[in-house]
A and B are shown apart, each in its own frame.
Chain A
């Protein structure tokens, strides 16, 4: 079983749609959680950290369920510019064991 698993997609959605990505992790001792965005052949960029209480940043909402070892990202009112790969990232003890999921590819169509 992979340490961090994501649905690879691709997700094809029209502009304005709401889309949700899921991610599961295997290490119950994992401490920090993030969503990164990566455009094709570019470096990943931090989209948002994920907190236990859930957090929102504009159209983006992240949720963490420690009991189920599950993280989610919700994108509302999708824009063409949201087309990218979304990486689920989990930090284990000490921050030196940062584990990246394989990513979920999103295409937003006009």
Chain B
């Protein structure tokens, strides 16, 4: 079945540590996105990528980094510079990024600080 796979489902970070969240899709979609969701809030865009080897900052990119070396993969690194990383992280993809296209989501990663 085609879809988006995020891993791990739960992740714990120690102070000063970088952690990487995995996102893989086999939908052959060009556009991929990372969102952060805090309790009682909507999704906020961290980074997005329209094609391989290209990505753009979203609204809250500080303290995060991404790469897009392969079409299927869009990993997100939460760096030690992100002082409040505890949140639910969602990866999504879209066929080409045109308006009115459905967003497909992974099942999310809950990141917590130890």
Contacts and interface: CB of A to CB of B under 8 A. Distances in A.
Given A31-B100, A43-B106, A96 B42 contact: no
B100 A94 contact: no
Interface of B: 31, 33, 35, 40-45, 48, 50, 56, 88, 90, 94, 97-103, 105-108, 110
B107 A95 contact: no
A41 B97 contact: no
A70 interface: no
B108 A41 contact: yes
Interface stretch (A53-61, A71-79, A100-108): A100-108
Given A32-B99, A49-B100, A91-B99, A100 B108 contact: no
Contacts, number: 58
Specify the main secondary structure of chain A where it touches its partner: mixed
Contacts of A44: 43, 90, 103, 105
A31 B40 contact: no
Interface of A: 4, 8, 31-32, 41-46, 49, 87, 91, 93-103
A43 B31 contact: no
Contact of A91 (B43, B100, B107): B100
Contact of B99 (A43, A94, A99, A102): A94
Nearest to B9: A41
Given A8-B40, A102-B42, A42 B107 contact: yes
Nearest to B6: A43
B42 A45 contact: no
A95 B94 contact: yes
Contact of A41 (B40, B103, B110): B110
B42 A87 contact: yes
A94 B99 CA distance: 6
A32 B99 CA distance: 6
Contact of B31 (A31, A45, A93, A96): A96
Contacts of A101: 42
A45 B90 CA distance: 12
